[in-house]
Amino acid sequence: MVRYGEKKVRSIMSKSGIYGVKYAINPYIGCEHGCVYCYARFVYIKMGKDPLEWGEEVIAKTNAVELLKREVVANRRGRVLISSVTDPYQPIERTKLLTRRILETLQRYKYPVVILTKSPLILRDLDIIKKFNHEEVEAGITITMLNDDDRKVFEPGAPSVDARIKALRILAGNIANTFAFLGPIIPLFTTKDLSALLELIADAGVKRVVIDKLNLKARNWESINRALKENYDKAKIREFWRILRDPYYYKKLKRKIINEAGELGLQVDFCY
């Protein structure tokens, strides 16, 4: 059972080191998707919380919109990422509406945005998203694997793969700059259906795919290993870690992705 809380924060627009964006806005602390690989659990470490409890608590930044209305005036305009260390459309957003109200404010003040989520709930806000100039808004859905049984292991609280593919298709029909985020690419689990996944993305009308590798940070290796031990045999677990220790694995995979995506007419951008 996820615990919910509320907190007032001092600022809502954070300077971002992510290429292509100037600011990041995270309406919530924590994420009830509870993805075992998520390195955003470093937020918990900074707060003195156990990073292995990631996914068990979500805190809403109740004064986020109030702060944003001041900060959009005080700051120099630049591209905003929603979000970087939480999902802006996790279930709590259905009632809190923080992401929706943040988008309304950014659109009013003509800030360009990039929205990234695992949730079809983004479709609720198409009315606002479509008010942005088409070159000033990008919307992406994260998909890490095609098999939904594996998804339940690695992303226990996240929407199903099928729901995300359907949402991606609707987004692509409404937002010119729609992309799929394949991150992280998880050895054995993403890769076993990678070709089929790329085909589904292209068939959904998406033209761009962003790829990232699995980064072991903030003790996420512990939650990954725990999930593997609870759901897979020892041989598969050994193979998983053997692949991750290969320094050339992601470099070789990059060539394969470029070739297959190119045949499907997909533009590919890598984060590694």
Write down the residue that tokens 């992601």 correspond to.
250
What is the fold, at CATH topology level, of the domain defined by 3-270?
A: TIM Barrel (3.20.20)
Return mean pLDDT, the chain: 97
Q: In terms of pLDDT, which residue wins out, 17 or 182? A: 182
For CA atoms 12, 163, 221, 231, the dihedral sign is positive
Amino acid (1-letter code) at residue 148: D
pLDDT score at 1 = 87
| Spans of all domains in the chain | 3-270
* Distances from the Cα of 210 to the Cα of 19, 141, 144, 183, angstroms: 12, 10, 11, 8
Residues shown for the chain: 272
Whether the pLDDT of residue 255 is over 90: the answer is yes
Q: Read off the pLDDT of residues 55-72 as tens digits, 9 standing for 90 and up.
A: 999 999 999 999 999 999
Report the first-to-last Cα separation within the chain, whole angstroms: 35
User: Is 0.75 surpassed by the pTM of this model?
Assistant: yes
